[in-house]
Chains A and B, each alone.
Chain A
Amino acid sequence: MIEKEGASDKSLLTFFYLKVLFANLSNPMAFISVILLTLIVGCAIFAPFIAPTDPYDLSVVSILDGRLAPGEEMFDGTIAWMGMDGAGRDVLSAIIYGLRTSLIVAISSALIALSIGIFIGLIAAFYGGKVDSFLMRIVDIQLSFPAILVALVLLALLGKGVDKVIIALVVVQWAVYARTVRAAATVERHKEYIEAASCLGLSNSRIIWKHLLPNSISPLIVLATLQTAHSISIEATLSFLGVGVPITEPSLGSLISNGFDFILSGAYWITFFPGVMLLATVASINILGDQIRTILNPRFTE
């Protein structure tokens, strides 16, 4: 009688489609971005084994190697493929270690913000009315400030440190997740299976976590990917401005900033290579996010 498309069935297959993405990489862009991302994450995880030198180890850093151009031989005879920075650290090694810091900050802040956002969004959608208005106005206020401004102010108050940067990134990002979850959950909230669950006399928390949550999170898969890329750039910006991670634990942003003093004197590589790495990381995550979006959206699939 009424012929319906199984819209909810489509989202049920979310994880199946993720598998499809990796199995069936017919799109060259997706293929490149997945390969690149795997390489980047691999480098970050296995940094101590891959990096030619340990940029934190002051005993191997020699000021005599300062500002060697890419490809030149170091004092001890090894080749510095990406040159040396002003203090005589190997740029390649610094990038590999910097990636680590950048990814840890981005991924952990995304996960924390995601959890907070899901919680607030589900509460707002489930209870509706005044609770919803109150929570969503907080979200509105939060989103009306430029992210970088909020992060700057917070870091000025909290001080430097990886943990502080993560806190600042969570504060600027949770609202985005909360709003998205709330939108998806509000639609689900009014479906009959939620009503059926309350007819069975289930407690609110059980309905929220067992029924509402699994049906509301599929839009977040895409959002979380894109937001991770976003937080890498915010973190880089903060570090560039000198309020992010301390120089003893360099991230991509602080490496770029570090080389900025030398760029006019011709030592472009200290800034250039970390910049390229940042671009590659952010771009490959973004492309991956777009691909997942395309795959999850039934309208795009042919």
Chain B
Amino acid sequence: MNELLEIVGLDVSFPSQRGTTYAVRDVSINVKPGEVLGVVGESGAGKSTIGNAVINLLEPPGKITNGKVLFQGKNISSLDDKEMRNIRGQKIGMIFQDPLTSLNPLMTIGAQLLETITKTTKLVGDAVFKKAIELLEAVGIEQPEVRFFAYPHEFSGGMRQRVVIALALAGDPDLVIADEPTTALDVSIQEQILELIRVLCRERKLGVIIITHDIGVIANIADRVAVMYDGSVVETGKVHQILTAPKHQYTKSLIAAVPRGDIKFKRFKSVDYIEGGKQSYKSIDVDQHWLGEKVRKNSTDKAIFIEGLNKEFVIKKAVFERNRVYLKAVKDVSFSVEEGESFGLVGESGSGKSTIARLIVGLSKVDRGSIKIFGQDVANKRKDQKVIAAQGDVQMIFQDPYSSLNARMRVQDIIAEPIRYYQTASSDSEALQIVGDLLDHVGLGSTAMLKYPHEFSGGQRQRISIARALASRPKILICDEPTSALDVSVQAHILNLLKDLQDELRLTMLFISHDLPVIRQMCDRVAVMRHGAICEIATTDNLFDAPNHEYSKHLLNLIPRMESVGKKELIS
């Protein structure tokens, strides 16, 4: 079969005052019609740059400095803007990550489709309309004649992504480049969108390039995969071969770092190939150290005890009570966590899991119900001294490492803040000594003390967050999606760190995630949440091996399984 797209020895460089950086170096990949090529790599690997280089939409000052992009045998990297515009849309379609921003909010989706179709095909009049309806039908939008007149905000995220796919297909392209097409979507929607891409690819003999960080997505959809690291393709091959018998050291590390839903490991395999892998973790003798000084009452009370918890948000304000519209974020939730246990809350976005975390630490007010931390009710009285003390036992690690640190403070001041504020250290030099120990403890090293947060990567910032949380000597650590903004290899490091800390400091952990395999690796017991209510509470092993509730089964089915790799190859 002829190659549809052939990239030969592509170099993309970004010249700047401080010298030229190569985003892509000597990359050669190819795609045949009807084939799905996955490009996988972590942030900064240059995978999106390849997609942009193909359609010549590199952000200045980036430019192709070497190599060729052959599309249907023709070199398209040297075409000018006008010729290129004809190829984009007509020959090559693009699907972007965020369906909300890639649609124009002021135009109906019908108008956007019509515009694209008239631009990219020679159709006129009724034929255009007909084609638009056909496309909407093809991407699985029900009642296309009605939905045609709807605006993007009237669609859900998954439906919007379908519209984006319809737009990409409007010019009957031969090649579709999908850049992280499902990253902004929930797992259940992700499955549907990938299925749709797969079907369209087969029916229309499309070549598809899927760019993603998610090996699960690759396992699900791709025929072949190119693994990228630091601008270069380190390995190319059939998906089955790459996932089961990777050759390159990086690919091995990457695959080992992906949390598995089927087996529980004690720790993640150490991923040494990737930056940060060699960080030494320095343990602290807790009994001798300041960290262990805080008196631990051996209370019989449960660490967290929640009963009949309710929380509503006003989503439509009104003067009169009856006109207000409420969203029930948490409905009659009850669970308890034993001291030293790690408890998981899992659910899709909007299931209320983060709201529970915010209620426990006192960031939002409880409407009804009680939250007891080691027997002290913290739900209703906020100003009480005992409540404040009880809440001091709880610390939270946030999702976004980029916004959870004050950019104007040095790392040492960020971490020392609770120590200084509560004067838990005898002097400021002791406080700084403790900060140094904490930084060593989370694997950053005390050299980080004088730097500012922006000098660190996402994973390192998350370590700083953890050190800050530890500085107030908590007994309970609430982790709200602590790794969902991080690359898999970094995620493995952070999860290992959390496990070690839990063992060493005997922390109780409430672990919130949408990612079932991560939950499996981290938690003893799990609560599955949906629409603000708990569906099922079970030990992790029980839940994964024999789920009771329908919804739990549904969620478990959606985990992209490494075992299923190659299933698709057998079918076709």
Contact = CB atoms under 8 A, between A and B. Distances in A.
A198 B382 CA distance: 12
A8 B468 CA distance: 20
A201 B402 contact: no
Contact of A201 (B42, B391, B399, B400): B391
A201 B388 contact: yes
B418 A200 contact: yes
A104 B42 CA distance: 56
Contacts of A3: 43-44, 48
Contact of B398 (A6, A9, A195, A214): A195
Given A12-B452, A200-B417, A202-B421, A192 B408 contact: no
Contacts of A8: 402-403, 407, 454
B271 to A, nearest CB: 15
A12 B408 contact: yes
Q: Point out which of B361, B362, B486 has the most chain A C-beta atoms below 10 A from its C-beta.
A: B361
Interface string B335-365: 0000000000000000000000010011100
A23 interface: no
- From B392, B399, B404, B406, residue with most partner A Cβ within 10 Å: B406
B487 A1 contact: yes
B182 interface: no
Given A193-B405, A200-B472, A9 B454 contact: yes
Contacts of B197: none
A4 B400 CA distance: 11
A197 B404 CA distance: 9
Contacts of B408: 12, 214-215
Contacts of B361: 199
A4 to B, nearest CB: 5
Interface in B440-465: 452, 454, 465
Given A3-B43, A192-B399, A198 B363 contact: yes
A196 interface: yes
A130 interface: no
A9 B407 contact: yes
B417 A202 contact: yes
Contacts of A137: none
A211 interface: yes
A196 B404 contact: yes
Interface string A1-25: 1111010110110000000000000
Contacts of B388: 201
Contacts of A198: 362-363
Given A1-B487, A206-B421, A193 B403 contact: yes
A198 B183 CA distance: 31
B468 A196 contact: yes
Interface residues of A, number: 24
A12 B407 contact: yes
Given A200-B417, A202-B417, A1 B454 contact: no
Contacts of B358: 195
Contact of B465 (A2, A196, A206, A215): A196
A199 B396 contact: yes
Contacts of B417: 197, 200, 202
A1 to B, nearest CB: 5
B84 interface: no
Contacts of A299: none
A200 B421 CA distance: 9
A197 B408 CA distance: 14
Contact of B403 (A191, A197, A199, A201): A191
B475 interface: no
Contact of B402 (A4, A200, A211): A4
Contacts of B392: 201
Interface string B466-482: 00100010000000000
A215 B421 contact: no
A165 to B, nearest CB: 35
B200 interface: no
Contacts of B333: none
B91 interface: no
A188 to B, nearest CB: 9
A214 B405 CA distance: 13
B485 interface: yes
B406 A215 contact: yes
Interface string A153-193: 00000000000000000000000000000000000000111
Contact of B363 (A2, A191, A195, A211): A195
Contacts of B310: none
B486 to A, nearest CB: 6
Contacts of A197: 406, 417
B552 interface: no
B232 interface: no
B525 interface: no
A1 B408 CA distance: 25
B56 interface: no
Contact of B404 (A2, A11, A192, A206): A192
A196 B407 contact: no
Given A12-B454, A199-B396, A211 B421 contact: no
Interface in A4-60: 4, 6, 8-9, 11-12
Given A211-B406, A215-B408, A196 B454 contact: no
A196 B183 CA distance: 26
A11 B422 CA distance: 30
Contacts of B454: 6, 8-9, 12
Contacts of B488: 1
Interface in B261-283: none
Contact of B43 (A2, A191, A200, A211): A2
B43 A1 contact: yes
A1 B398 contact: no
B118 to A, nearest CB: 32
Contacts of A202: 417-418, 421
B236 interface: no
A1 B396 contact: no
Contacts of B465: 196
Given A8-B454, A12-B408, A192 B403 contact: yes
Which of A199, A202, A206 lies at the interface centre, i.e. has the most chain B CB atoms within 10 A of its CB? A199
B398 A196 contact: yes
Contacts of B452: 12
Contact of B486 (A1, A11, A191, A211): A1
Given A1-B42, A12-B454, A192-B400, A215 B363 contact: no
A191 B402 CA distance: 9
Given A201-B391, A201-B472, A211-B409, 6 more contacts: A192-B403, A193-B406, A195-B398, A199-B362, A200-B421, A200-B468
18 contacts: A1-B42, A1-B488, A9-B454, A192-B398, A193-B404, A193-B405, A195-B358, A195-B363, A195-B404, A196-B404, A196-B405, A198-B363, A199-B363, A200-B472, A201-B388, A202-B421, A211-B406, A215-B408
Interchain residue pairs A-B with the least CB separation, the first 5: A9-B454, A192-B404, A214-B408, A192-B398, A191-B403
